Structure 1
Amino acid sequence: MKIWLFYFHFRYFCSLKSNSSILVLLFSDTTKIFLLRIFIGTLLILPVSAWAYDFTPDLQKAYSEIFKLRIQAGKDLLAKENPQNPFRVYVENYADMIEVLNSEDETAYEKLVSKEDQRLEAIEQTDRKSPYNRFLRAEIKLHWALLKIRFGHEIKAAWNVIQAYRLLEENQKLFPHFLPNFKSMGCLHILIGSIPENQQWVSNFLGLKGNIQEGLKELEIASTDKVWGLEANFCLLFIQAYILQYTDKANTQLLHAVEDHPDNLNLNFLATAISLKTGRTDQAIQLLKKSPYNNSYLYFPVFELYKAEVNLYKSNYKQATSAYLNYLKNFKGKTFVKDTYYKLFLCSWFEGDEKRGISYINKIPTAGSTIAEADKAAQKFYENYARTNTLPNQALIKMRLAFDAGYYNEAREKAESLSENSFSTTKDKAEFNYRVARIYHKMSDTAKAIQAYQKAIVLTDAHKDAQWHFGASAALQLGYIFQEQNQRLKARTYFEKAISYKKHEYKTSIDNKARAALTAMKF
């Protein structure tokens, strides 16, 4: 499901064909998403220091407005401040980054490129005895890493991250109680901990150390602080939803954060994205109704996707179609364009207009990109359709949508009206067993879930060259089941099996979740 604003899944470079590829390995799909959410979607409100320059009340207000996604209001406040103030330099960089990443405007990016060195130099010339000198430079390097990733400069981005890490590491040695470092180093430790196990020698070679649990502890320390509490909790909730297992407790904390900050569109978007991702469609609908979104905020095309998604889940296909078309009309980038055409196909097909639906399918190969996992899946769907000239089983897709929406009773009813014999292909049989298992799992019928997951694995393993994700997904869920039952060895076996599958469209996210679970169990 889409992530709030900077909803980018990035290419995963897994081969070591040259020295430059070593740097690229720092950016798997999930770790790139993590960087985008943490360093773009997180407000770093710094305490006023004894430095020659202060983070003045107006600068703090400007940063707060930009964090809420009121970019123009923030810029208006910045204009009143000393242009040499490094905090102003940092906040300006923050605002520029958000606008460029939101628009995916390559021309705007090229115009902005020269400002990276200018801004870094302006901060570097200030008092090096202050922890803010290294901290602000590290943050700007991380912001530019995100911009470079987005526009295809992964190697340069990797160097930015390495340099930021070293600045923060030095800062931590010199100023061990400097709280901003806990937050930023915590994020980087989680990033480094997300590197695949068989490639961790890369980070070790570069002197980068960290793991997910270490990063979580650092963020938890920051979450107790009066200034950093909201930002640290923001990071932790994102990690819980996208890397670990999202719990009811975490969901309650997220909703409380939104309620406590009703004008914060950033938090509202995060909560909406997580709600849709975790099968809480009705919760997402309520969040959209309470959204503070108006003309005082920057325009975000992803808002159209949220509206489209909830309407698709509620079978309001005309409304969903309108929102998906609005996304295509107003978004000039490439992310989620293929997936949007796939969803437009579903809406037309479900309404009985197969001809129009197929016209949307035929737009998939030439539209957008295949950077996002959802776009990869849409492209794979197109290729299967082009090869077989056969549409998928509609009942299976509707069962999946009901489950994804969190309507488990409806999904179960649809599942029980079918059987494995309802499907003619092994792929459909494997998917059916996986979807049924997910339904039983969510409804706490663990025995039936285990049986169906295992059947999905058997069917997938019989066609490994086909690169279906059902076996890997089923193995991950079985790992979670046995982890909860404290059957550690069984859990380990299934998490490792989940990682063993190659080249399916969800490999990076599944691998990261499996590795996080193994780390938590200290394997």
Structure 2
Amino acid sequence: MRQFLFLLTFFFASLFTAGAQQKFDFNAACLQAYQEINKLKFETAEAQLQKIRLQQPDNLVPILLDNYIDFYTLFFNEDPDYYTRQMGVMQSRLDLLQKGDKSSPFYLYSQSMLRIQRGAVQIKFGNFWDAGWDIRKAYILIKENRKKFPKFSPNEMLYGALESIMGTIPKGYKWLTNLLGMRGSITEGMKKMKDFTNSNEYWARQFSNEASFIYPYLLFHIGNERKQALDFVENKKLDLVNNHLHAFMAANLSLNNKEAAKCKLIIQHRNKSAEYLSTPVWDFQLGYAHIYHLDLDDAIEHFEQFTREFRGKFYLKDSYQKISWAYYLLGNQQQAEAFRKQTLAKGSTLSDADKKANRDAKENNWPNPLLLKARLLSDGGYHAEAYKLLQGKTSNDFSSLADKLDFAYRAARIYDDLGRKDDAIRNYLVAIKLGENRREHFAARAALQIGLIYEERGDKTTAIKYYQQCMNMEGHEFKDSLDQKAKSGIERCKGN
């Protein structure tokens, strides 16, 4: 039905092209639909867009808003059939936008936004080269729009986000950004995003929902301002019940900040109306929220629901691994083995988590149950419970070098989270010594964590030393993501 409506719009638009200039009128009706879309409330938004198409067939803004719906749908659900159909539709939309009024600030802006959305979707489906060229073109378009319309504030949201992300590209991928002609600065990009997000200017207010989704992610993952990111959600009083986009962001950041209980509450209290995008990612996050508290039966239920409903490939192997771990800790080895086989058979290895799950399944070794429980509790923010599990233990209680390394790193992370930073550093250094030449990620991550501690203390020289040590380690798990975090740390410490 949506594809038919788009073709109908395309037909009417082609008629108007011959006799009238296609325009970009981001009027009240379009703004209302845009706000609903950025709540993931698609049923309401699509009804509004249908009226606008009929009443304003020469208005190109609904074309861009249609693309928002496809972007969010593909980004969250990764349906390969829908992807195959809609990629051609996205190109047709781009062709339409290019026929619009060139004197409008939305002419280049809308093309840039569509290309960013298409590029992000293509990354999800493993088409990295096509994604790179789309993002390069988006960067060029928004850069040009800033020159033509310097007072058009939405430029700062797009350009600031791109500039921040480009500033974190690890050295192994610098050839790509050089080839694509893109330059980044974390400091400058974050400042643009902060100013736009906190601005009371007209367009900044209208685009506030979208900016308030992007900015906390940049704060959390690039600026390493985790507390500020979560405080932003609180201080802005974002609606985590009726805005599913903000609910997803807040739940996801809470989970990454070791606040599994908070993540669970956000998801459970969201508006369950059928008007919103239906997505199994809620079950994926709930699976984690439960396994982090060792609520193993509940974790199995939600991870299995995710694997049944999800049409994509990201985090499937990771989910099957967590199901196998849950059965393993419950003592059901038969089911644990069965889901380990599923880990090998399903999904892809595009994400670091999936690569790790696949490698672990291939090696067919089971983790030490005590260390696994401590790890899960620690990752969920249950630090006191994790500490009690390991209290009184030393590396001598573990026979294999892998377990000794795991113990040293896990003890360090628990001390770190409990605020015992010197104890944490001491154990991180042991982890580096034991693991710097091994493929496990513990040594590199330990160096990263020491860098974070010294950066927080204001000792930027020492912080850079450990960030660089993290980047210098080769051949370990999570190499790309850890290098990006370390690169971000170095750039922050240098003020770039």
Say whether the fold is shared (TM-score over 0.5): yes
Report the AA paired with residue 95 of structure 1.
Answer: I
Q: Is this contact kept in 1: 2:133–2:180, CA < 8 A?
A: no
Partners of 1:402 and 1:435 lie apart in 2 by 11
CA separation of 1:332/1:200 partners in 2, compared to 1, >3 Å: closer, same or farther? closer
CA separation of 1:140/1:129 partners in 2, compared to 1, >3 Å: closer, same or farther? same
Residue in 2 aligned with 1:20?
none
Q: For residues 5-25 of structure 1, what are the alpha-carbon distances to aligned partners after superposition, in whole Å with 9 as ceiling and x for unaligned?
A: xxxxxxxxxxxxxxxxxxxxx
Residue in 2 aligned with 1:181?
155
Q: For residues 286-320 of structure 1, what are the alpha-carbon distances to aligned partners after superposition, in whole Å with 9 as ceiling and x for unaligned?
A: 21232123312111101111222222223222222
CA separation of 1:261/1:308 partners in 2, compared to 1, >3 Å: closer, same or farther? closer
Partners of 1:225 and 1:376 lie apart in 2 by 41
CA separation of 1:199/1:506 partners in 2, compared to 1, >3 Å: closer, same or farther? closer
SS at the partner of 2:407? Answer: helix
Residue in 2 aligned with 1:253?
232
Q: For residues 433-462 of structure 1, what are the alpha-carbon distances to aligned partners after superposition, in whole Å with 9 as ceiling and x for unaligned?
A: 11101111111212211110000000012x
Q: 2:125 matched to 1:151?
A: yes
Report the AA paired with residue 420 of structure 1.
Answer: S
SS at the partner of 2:150? Answer: coil
Q: For residues 387-423 of structure 1, what are the alpha-carbon distances to aligned partners after superposition, in whole Å with 9 as ceiling and x for unaligned?
A: xxx4220000001111111111111111214210121
Q: Is this contact kept in 2: 1:348–1:356, CA < 8 A?
A: yes
Q: For residues 5-62 of structure 1, what are the alpha-carbon distances to aligned partners after superposition, in whole Å with 9 as ceiling and x for unaligned?
A: xxxxxxxxxxxxxxxxxxxxxxxxxxxxxxxxxxxxxxxxxxxxxx944212222111
Equivalent of residue 184 in structure 2, options 198, 210, 232: 210
Equivalent of residue 69 in structure 2, options 63, 73, 95: 95
Residue in 2 aligned with 1:67?
38
Q: Is this contact kept in 1: 2:240–2:266, CA < 8 A?
A: no
CA separation of 1:341/1:194 partners in 2, compared to 1, >3 Å: closer, same or farther? same
SS at the partner of 1:315? Answer: coil
Report which stretch shifted further, 363-372 or 286-295.
286-295
Equivalent of residue 454 in structure 2, options 474, 478, 482: 482
Residue in 1 aligned with 2:479?
507
Partners of 1:198 and 1:316 lie apart in 2 by 40
Q: Is this contact kept in 2: 1:189–1:210, CA < 8 A?
A: yes
TM-score (norm 2): 0.89
Residue in 1 aligned with 2:244?
265
Report the AA paired with residue 207 of structure 1.
Answer: G
Partners of 1:488 and 1:407 lie apart in 2 by 30
Residue in 2 aligned with 1:41?
none
Q: 2:398 matched to 1:423?
A: yes
Q: For residues 62-95 of structure 1, what are the alpha-carbon distances to aligned partners after superposition, in whole Å with 9 as ceiling and x for unaligned?
A: 1111111111211111101134311110001111
Report the AA paired with residue 295 of structure 2.
Answer: N
SS at the partner of 1:291? Answer: coil
Partners of 1:261 and 1:429 lie apart in 2 by 42
Q: Is this contact kept in 2: 1:272–1:284, CA < 8 A?
A: yes
Report the AA paired with residue 458 of structure 1.
Answer: K
Report the AA paired with residue 306 of structure 2.
Answer: Y
Equivalent of residue 497 in structure 1, options 465, 469, 472: 469
Q: For residues 152-181 of structure 1, what are the alpha-carbon distances to aligned partners after superposition, in whole Å with 9 as ceiling and x for unaligned?
A: 322222111111111111111111121011
Q: Is this contact kept in 1: 2:238–2:246, CA < 8 A?
A: no
Report the AA paired with residue 496 of structure 1.
Answer: Q
Report the AA paired with residue 432 of structure 1.
Answer: F
Could you tell me how far 1:275 is from its partner in structure 2? 0.9
Q: For residues 354-381 of structure 1, what are the alpha-carbon distances to aligned partners after superposition, in whole Å with 9 as ceiling and x for unaligned?
A: 2221111122111111112221111121
Q: For residues 85-111 of structure 1, what are the alpha-carbon distances to aligned partners after superposition, in whole Å with 9 as ceiling and x for unaligned?
A: 111100011112222333322222222
Equivalent of residue 54 in structure 1, options 25, 34, 38: 25
Q: 2:447 matched to 1:468?
A: no
Bigger helix share: 2
Q: Is this contact kept in 2: 1:271–1:284, CA < 8 A?
A: yes
Could you tell me how far 1:198 is from its partner in structure 2? 5.4
Q: 2:302 matched to 1:323?
A: yes
Report the AA paired with residue 359 of structure 2.
Answer: K
Residue in 2 aligned with 1:104?
78
Q: Is this contact kept in 2: 1:145–1:161, CA < 8 A?
A: yes
Report the AA paired with residue 47 of structure 2.
Answer: D
Residue in 1 aligned with 2:355?
376
Report the AA paired with residue 224 of structure 2.
Answer: Q
Could you tell me how far 1:202 is from its partner in structure 2? 4.2
| Unmatched runs of 5 consecutive residues or more in structure 1 | 1-50
Report the AA paired with residue 436 of structure 1.
Answer: A
Q: 2:416 matched to 1:441?
A: yes
Residue in 2 aligned with 1:119?
93
Equivalent of residue 79 in structure 1, options 50, 54, 58: 50
Q: Is this contact kept in 1: 2:454–2:460, CA < 8 A?
A: yes
Could you tell me how far 1:260 is from its partner in structure 2? 4.3
Q: Is this contact kept in 2: 1:223–1:231, CA < 8 A?
A: no
SS at the partner of 1:114? Answer: helix
Q: Is this contact kept in 2: 1:105–1:332, CA < 8 A?
A: yes
Partners of 2:41 and 2:469 lie apart in 1 by 45
Partners of 2:375 and 2:240 lie apart in 1 by 34
Partners of 2:176 and 2:87 lie apart in 1 by 28
Identity score, percent:
29
TM-score (norm 1): 0.85
Count of matched residue pairs:
466
Q: Is this contact kept in 2: 1:68–1:264, CA < 8 A?
A: yes
CA separation of 1:367/1:401 partners in 2, compared to 1, >3 Å: closer, same or farther? same
Residue in 2 aligned with 1:520?
492
Residue in 1 aligned with 2:135?
161
Q: Is this contact kept in 2: 1:257–1:267, CA < 8 A?
A: no
Q: Is this contact kept in 1: 2:24–2:101, CA < 8 A?
A: no
CA separation of 1:229/1:469 partners in 2, compared to 1, >3 Å: closer, same or farther? same
Larger RCO (CA under 8 A, 6+ residues apart): 1
Residue in 1 aligned with 2:4?
none
Q: Is this contact kept in 2: 1:341–1:364, CA < 8 A?
A: yes
Partners of 1:105 and 1:446 lie apart in 2 by 44
Partners of 2:238 and 2:129 lie apart in 1 by 40
Report which stretch shifted further, 145-154 or 335-344.
145-154
| Unmatched runs of 5 consecutive residues or more in structure 2 | 1-21
CA separation of 1:482/1:213 partners in 2, compared to 1, >3 Å: closer, same or farther? same
